Structure 1
Amino acid sequence: MRARYLITAVGGDIGSSVIRHLRKKFSRDCLLGCDITPYAGGRTDAGEFFLVPPFTDAAQYTDFLLKECAARGITHILPMTEGEIIVFDQNRKLFEQAGIRLMIQDSKLLQIALSKWETARTVKEIGLKSPRTWRPDDGECISYPVVVKADRGCGSKYVKVAKNRQEYEMALEAVADAVVQEYVGSPDEEYTMGVFSDGTQTRSIAFRRTLCGGMTCTAELVEDEKLDKIAKVTAKNLALKGSINIQMRKHDEDYFIFEINPRISGTVGFRHLLGFEDVLWWLKLLDGEKGFLDGVCQEHPPVVGVRTFGETIFRECAVPAKSDPLEISARGGYCC
């Protein structure tokens, strides 16, 4: 059976980057994209594109995708957002029974990584460093500034830096199910590291990054034995198979882990350009291939990646209502 890959959320920065780089390895007719909006930039790299209902209605979303996979011969699904990953994890047996391979981490790792609280606790347990983390009602003695963030969820709107008591109380009102962390380091010393393991070998790639609107806009490739150790210790203790992203700040020559993203991250495009092709490796792992990490060649510093932007024009023959058929041609507008 010929493999056909569905990449979700191709209107986002991660999904559009993933499908763009897969397009260099696979023919267009093997690549499918979906999104909740028809104006998804990544759709131009897909052989087929279709709209999906929001994942917030998990039952509808799951039922819809199972039917689409059967109708379109989809063999692999690559979820790009954490909300979708949660839905796929909850329904992974249904997809496995349908013969569909999911590019998501196992449930135990997801439980840890999708919770800032559990991440901090686990990082400490395995002997690595994390900012001091507590619940608002723990009675901790607070030394400002502190970071208030949602225990679950991603995005800068759920993260507040409080420099005094008034800002702290305002942050707690704005952020539901909050955890609090000490403010460590500075934005100039923020690092993001992709870590991939096939269960035996571990590979990693790290960048010192600058952020623009919550996204990495420049990424300076760095090599450090301490980062390599963090990658290997994390992979071993989390029984990692596949790819994760570790976010850190450097302070007094130590790296403090403040987040682990159990998915492909926003630096995936930079990584693939430098030989760290973790999306392709993960697909090979799902297909049971062996030895694909042998002889992998990655670039070395000095290298700086810069995120660029482009424009896409969609000339539609009609714009259907959400209740209308969801089929869209990838290149030429709606099928009407």
Structure 2
Amino acid sequence: MKTVLVTAIGSFAADIVIKKMQEEEYTVIGCDIYQKEWLADAYHVDFFYQAPLVSEAEAYQNFILNLCQEHRVEYIFPLTDIEVDFYNKNREVFEKSGITVCISSTEAIDICRNKMRLNQYLQKNNICSVIPTVMLQEAKIQELDYPAVVKPTNGRSSQGLFYIESAEQMENFVRNQDISNYIVQPKISGGIITVDVVRNQETQTTQCVARKELLRTLNGAGTTVYVFHDSVLEKQCRELAAVLGVNGCVNFEFIETDSGEHFFMECNPRFSGGVEFSCIAGYDCVRNHLRCFTGEEIEGKEDLKNQYIARKYEEYVTKIE
């Protein structure tokens, strides 16, 4: 039986990834930094292991390599940004051991994980509307548009993001923060649109599923969404995925203004926390992500019906003492 390792199984995307891989008759190994009793999905995988922090790079790498050797793991699905960064940097170590890390190319991830570089790259290619962005340390504070948004170039899940209401507040922020890695943008009001995008780099085939996030957690995970079809937005996303060299499943985020204009925000080069919404709506992003790394063509997408989907949390007893 084929074997896949799914990391960070306490994350939002884990449940559907585990289910879909088991439907494909894979043995699923799961790991997470937390102990088994803290994670419901630790009881849904075939084998679970508590992992070191990925920030402890040497210990984490040795742990993963040993785990892969023990279970003859063929594929790794990293589910969080920090893990994607690790595997992007160290992918050759795993490739030499015959393990396929299912993420886009090094160049694609390097661009996507740097918000300043990504903004400049997309401006150059002129595919979509982007939010005016400059490095904060190069900005003229009195000339910025307020309210403004400041965030790290490599930020994730809204960590390190601040809203600044005035030049005076910005000056105070600059005095009290190391801003060398921060960008600044004007705050644009509107709803959040997330598009799950699956692209096979070899065949140049791309499928997209868009949703409007009606309710979200504070760190940006949708809990109630509206899945919809928009041919113009989907064409734009196909062009974005092509110019970025995406392979597999990623997600693009946009702000939709009251006038209907879409401003590109970011590309997360991994499954979105709400990828299950796309699967429920009718397109299996997980199975087709795998196909991008097994030499198979991805499936076509039937016309999906516009639909509302809400996430429900469920409690599990994981251990009785």
- 2:261 corresponding residue in structure 1: 254
Give, in whole Å, the separation in 1 of the partners of 2:154 and 2:270.
14
Partner deviation per Cα, 1:273-311 (whole Å, 9 max, x = no partner): 122212211212211113x324x325221x011111111
Structure 1 unaligned runs (5+)?
318-336
Deviations 1:144-174 (CA, angstroms, capped at 9, x unpaired): 0111111112022311111122432454445
Instruction: Within 5 Å, give how 1:93-108 maps onto structure 2.
Output: 93-108=92-107
Aligned to 1:287: 294
2:32 to 22, 25, 35: 35
After superposition, the Cα gap between the structure-2 partners of 1:249 and 1:31, relative to the gap in structure 1 and judged at 3 Å, is: same
The one of 217, 224, 231 aligned to 1:212: 217
- How far, CA to CA, are the matches of 1:207 and 1:248 in structure 2? 10
Cα-Cα RMSD: 1.8
Indicate the residue corresponding to 2:244 in structure 1.
Answer: 238
Any residues of structure 2 matched to 1:72-91 within 5 Å, and which? Answer: 72-91=71-90
Q: Which amino acid aligns with 1:276?
A: Y
Distance 1:10 1:225, change over 3 A: same
Provide TM-score, normalisation by structure 2: 0.91
Distance of aligned partners of 1:139 and 1:26 in 2 relative to their CA distance in 1, 3 Å threshold: closer
Name the residue aligned to 1:271.
278
- For residues 178 and 200 of structure 2, the distance between their equivalents in structure 1, rounded to whole angstroms, comes to 37
**2:240 match: secondary structure:** helix
* 8 A Cα contact 1:245 1:265, kept in partner: yes
SS in 2 for 1:206: strand
| TM-score where L is the length of structure 1 | 0.87
1:312 corresponds to 2:316:
yes
Q: How far has the Cα of 1:234 moved from its partner?
A: 0.4
- Between the aligned partners of 2:98 and 2:31, the Cα distance in structure 1 is 20
What is the match of residue 305 of structure 2?
300
Q: Which residue of 1 aligns with 2:52?
A: 53
Deviation sequence 1:197-234 (CA, Å, 0-9, x none): 11221110111113222221111112223211211210
State the alpha-carbon separation in 1 of the partners of residues 111 and 46 from structure 2.
36
1:147–1:159 Cα contact (<8 Å) kept: yes
Preserved contact between residue 256 and residue 263 of structure 2 (Cα < 8 Å) = yes
* 1:101-126 Cα shifts (integer Å, max 9, x gaps): 11111110111110111121122112
Partner AA of 2:316 in structure 1:
T
What amino acid sits opposite 2:158 in the alignment?
A: S
After superposition, the Cα gap between the structure-2 partners of 1:171 and 1:78, relative to the gap in structure 1 and judged at 3 Å, is farther
Task: Measure how far apart 1:15 and its partner are.
Answer: 2.1
SS in 1 for 2:304: coil
- Determine the C-alpha separation between the residues in 2 that align with 1:314 and 1:221: 33
2:13/2:272 contact within 8 Å kept: yes
- State the 1:263 CA deviation: 0.7
Q: 1:328 maps to what in 2? A: none
Structure 2: unaligned runs, 5 residues or longer: none
Q: How many residues align?
A: 309
| Aligned 8 A contact 1:274 1:298 in 2 | no
Kept in 2, the 8 Å contact 1:129–1:255? The answer is yes
Question: Is the alpha carbon distance of 1:40 and 1:312 closer, same or farther for their aligned partners in structure 2, counting shifts above 3 Å?
Answer: same
